[in-house]
Structure 1
Amino acid sequence: MATLALSLHFGGGMELLFDNRRDHEITITLPAPADVRLLIDWIATNLLQERKELFLEGPSLRPGILVLINDTDWELEGEEDYQLKDGDDIVFISTLHGG
């Protein structure tokens, strides 16, 4: 098991799904190796307040959500396979907006 202190941030309207809070400082214990896939599941189970379909599509993150890991696009870090490290800063931003 891995215990990690992480900073999570939600923007672009996503904060409305998370008790209208943009920033969450969390300490979690996940099975090792702890990757973003496990974090997304933990977020959906423990932080997501409503409208799960606006965050997830099946077990994965919904398309249209930009993810930054330590200020780097998660596509450059391995997306859901990125191995979390203590102190990581992870940002989720919705790029889809109604009109």
Structure 2
Amino acid sequence: MLRIELEFGGGLESLTGGNKVVPVEFSEEQLTLDRVIDYIRTNLIKEKHEYFVQGEYVRPGILVLINDVDWELEGKTRYVVQQGDRITFISTLHGG
């Protein structure tokens, strides 16, 4: 069982029912970040999916961190998720 923590900020928590931190368990032993993003889209976000994803990818303007490191340094969606990882999604876009 692979246990990770998903964290949402910058307004994205409103898409998950106000939950800033969501612990998640996956039965897969080998899991890439693209599968986690798909899980969030289909299981955690109930409406306004377009605020989180654009096509198959995280929407531009959302900062993704893996254990506080920019996901671009970790291989983006190809990153192999590890036990206990904290994956953070922060919207950097704000209305005004």
**TM-score normalised over the length of structure 1:** 0.92
Structure 2 residue aligned with 1:45: 42
- The residue aligned with 1:7 is 5
Q: Counterpart of 2:27 in 1: which secondary structure?
A: strand
- Distance apart, 1:28 and its partner CA: 1.7
* SS at 2:72 equivalent: helix
Matched, 1:56 2:53: yes
Match of 1:18 in 2: 16
1:49 CA displacement: 1.9
- After TM superposition, the runs of 4+ consecutive aligned structure 1 residues lying more than 3 A away are none
Question: Paired residue for 1:92?
Answer: 89
1:69 corresponds to 2:60: no
Q: Distance in 2 between matches of 1:4 and 1:60?
A: 22
Identical aligned pairs, as a percentage?
48
List gaps (5 residues or longer) in structure 1: none
The one-letter amino acid paired with 2:92 is: T
> Aligned AA for 1:96?
L
CA-based RMSD: 1.0
Aligned-partner SS, 1:37 = helix
State the distance in 2 between where 1:6 and 1:43 align: 13
TM-score, normalised via structure 2 length: 0.95
Deviations 1:44-98 (A, max 9, x none): 1111122000001001111110011011000100011100011101100000111
Q: In structure 2, which of residues 70, 80, 83 is the aligned counterpart of residue 83 of structure 1? A: 80
Secondary structure of the residue that 1:33 maps to in structure 2? coil
Any gaps of 5 or more consecutive residues in structure 2? none
Deviates more, 1:32-41 or 1:3-12: 32-41
Deviation at residue 4 of structure 1 after TM alignment? 1.1
